[in-house]
Amino acid sequence: MAEREQRRDNRGGNDRRDNRPEENPEFADRLVAINRVSKTVKGGKRFGFAALVVVGDQRGRVGFGKGKAKEVPEAIRKATEQAKRSLIRVPLKDSRTLHHDMEGRHGAGKVVMRTAVAGTGIIAGGPMRAVFEMLGIQDIVAKSIGSTNPYNMIRATIDGLKHETSPRQVAARRSKKVAEILRKPETEAAEAVEA
């Protein structure tokens, strides 16, 4: 008993609190846009700031948020908090690219995302690049069509990423094995000819 008390005193706290795993993993955040906004009131105009932030753990989770405040740091803090509450998980192929090509839409914004071979890098513009970097994607080719509004571009990108499915998810949905899902049509045709 005395040894336990001694060990606790040496560490400066009780056993349970020190050995508890960290509840919130480290998130990286990227400020995408900051705008000065104004509210017209009886006495004139009141100015404030609106921030758009993308947050991710760079291992398959990403989210975005927006915040408004009188000062820039407070707007960024609000946007970051909202982004952490709206995280989505995206399955990645080999932890570097998407499993399949896809499109996303929001309003007049449309984005097209395509898988890429290793070494391609992130070929995407502006707000889309921030989403991919925070997600942890290393190789992708993406194009935005229509609206250049960063809010719409990010929402369209997130919309497309929500439709991403891995072979494991498809196999579970169809009650099959992953190997059956990944078989090429050419090999199935060759097996049918042999039989």
Does residue 4 fall inside a structural domain? Answer: no
Question: Which residue, 157, 140, 160, 131, is CA-closest to 61?
Answer: 131
* CATH code of 107's domain: 3.30.230.10
Does residue 184 fall inside a structural domain? Answer: no
| More confident: 45 or 178 | 45
Does residue 106 fall inside a structural domain? Answer: yes
Q: Token match 């932890």: residue? A: 95
The pLDDT tens digits of the residues spanning 77-121 come to: 999 999 999 999 999 988 889 999 999 999 999 999 999 999 999
Does residue 171 fall inside a structural domain? Answer: no
The pLDDT tens digits of the residues spanning 7-48 come to: 445 444 444 334 433 445 688 999 999 999 999 999 999 999
Beta bridge partners of 121: none
Considering its fold, how many domains does the chain have in total?
Answer: 1
CB atoms within 10 A of CB 82: 17
Give the model's pLDDT for residue 20: 38
H or E segment and range at residue 42: none
Does residue 101 fall inside a structural domain? Answer: yes
Does residue 176 fall inside a structural domain? Answer: no
